[in-house]
Structure 1
Amino acid sequence: MTLATDFEPVFKDFLINSATHDLAHDMSHIKRVVSTAKMLAKQEQADLWVIIPAAYLHDCFTYPKNHAERHLSSQLAADKALQFLISIDYPAHTYQAIYHAIAAHSFSADIVPTSLEAQIIQDADRLDSLGAIGIARCIQVSSSFEGQLYSDNDPFAEKRELDDHRYAIDHFFTKLFKLPKTMNTKAGQKEANKRVIFMRQYLNQLRQEIL
């Protein structure tokens, strides 16, 4: 009996050979999203025939974070993923659900996930912006923009406006700390809150070291 997991080596080969990723959406990110999506799917009893390909292929096309058409990335990824799934004869009854899950995962796309599977893929992707790995990714992306870790004069924006284009730490407040409230599933919200606690502990430690 064929299982959705049997296709994982094919998905990995496809990504290695054809996908183009920025620093924040490399293979390590994809592997983490797949792992998290499986965990959420188990808790929420979702369809792995949709979850597994959507998690692997959700970033098979991405524009850089600062690209003018960044908001179109997930829909272009969904188009590319569907063409690939057709080429490998993946079960056709899953196509629409996978397409929607990929298109709706992106924060910038602003597409409401209407299925449990799409909600899980969105949660799994957003969870990778939180916790220890979220801190590392935030700094990594900010560095690619030549941004600083924090403002020397006002590290935590207590007397200035937030500017996450210039300072990595500001992004915690402009976006990342708001993500738990956007989680679709109970399992996703629980994990998000746990990761945010760690991030706040990091900021407390940073405050002690720099002030």
Structure 2
Amino acid sequence: MTASDGSSFDRVAAEVAAHFDGDSSGHDLQHAWRVNRLGVRIADAEGADSRVVGVAAVVHDLHRVRGDGFTHPEETIPEIREILADADVPAGIRDPVCHCVAVHEEYGFEDDPAAAETLEAEVLQDADNLDAIGAVGVARAFQFGGAHGNLLWDPDRPLPDRDDAYRKDGHDDHDGPASTYHHFHAKLLRLRENMNTETGREIAAARHAILEEFAERFEREWYGEA
């Protein structure tokens, strides 16, 4: 497997494709491929192993298709090891790939510090988070919200601030369905500050600006001011 050999990533994707069939939450195989492309780009710029990042990107969200509740990525590692073996991924990079997957949702703005122990894991976090912001990030947020029956916005519920803890289950301490616009403030608008790499920060700056413009326009249109 070489970093420039796209077919090597294709073999891994072929092993996981069936798992993502029918996903409507924004965590489908197209998301995995976007993270793959971003990850390889960042890895090449930062001197990380793009083979590790690229393979991890393709399999990183297997936990997202494991039932209605939140499944931690670590719980899918045994299955991912089987997938890597079936796809003939070199044995020497399987442990680094699994570490990337296991920690990719451990964000520095949560109660626990970021758990990435390798540059490759930091790159995968950046690539995955970048696909959650910008124009694609806006689209994915509302796709996810629609798939889970979330409101667009509940303006009577206070928006979270940056001191509020982020909840992986998407809920807060209020009753009633979650709101996609609350998710913007709880997570998406905080991701720029959570980038690990310089390349990730550069890409995030432009994408974050799109989020801010959208949020400002969203509230004005909500109240008929624009």
AA in 2 matched with 1:8: F
The alpha carbon displacement at 1:173 in A equals: 0.9
Q: Aligned AA for 1:86?
A: A
* Cα pair 2:149 2:177 within 8 Å, conserved: no
Moved more, 108-117 or 143-152: 108-117
2:169 corresponds to: none
Verify: 1:187 aligned to 2:199, yes or no.
Answer: yes
1:147 to 142, 147, 150: 150
Q: Give how far 1:64 is off.
A: 6.3
Paired residues in the alignment total 205
- Distance in 2, matches of 1:154 and 1:183, equals 29
Structure 1 residue runs of 5 or longer lacking an equivalent are none
Stretches (4+) displaced over 6 A:
154-158, 161-164
Partner of 1:36: 38
CA contact (8 A) 1:79 1:99 kept: no
- CA 1:168–1:88 in 2, change beyond 3 Å: closer, same or farther? closer
Identity of aligned residues (%): 25
Any unmatched runs of 5+ in structure 2?
A: 162-171
CA distance in 1, matches of 2:67, 2:205: 25
Matches within 5 A, 1:18-97: 18-19=19-20, 21=23, 23-63=25-65, 67=69, 70-72=70-72, 74-97=73-96
Q: Which structure has greater helix proportion?
A: 1
Normalised TM-score (structure 1):
0.84
- Structure 1 Cα separation of the partners of residues 212 and 187 of structure 2: 14
Structure 1 residues 52 and 185: alpha-carbon distance in aligned structure 2, compared to 1, 3 A threshold: same
Letter in 1 for 2:194: T
Aligned CA-pair RMSD: 2.9
Q: Which has the higher contact order (CA 8 A, sep 6+)?
A: 2
TM-score (norm 2): 0.79
Q: After superposition, where does 1:89-128 map in structure 2 within 5 Å?
A: 89-107=88-106, 112-128=115-131
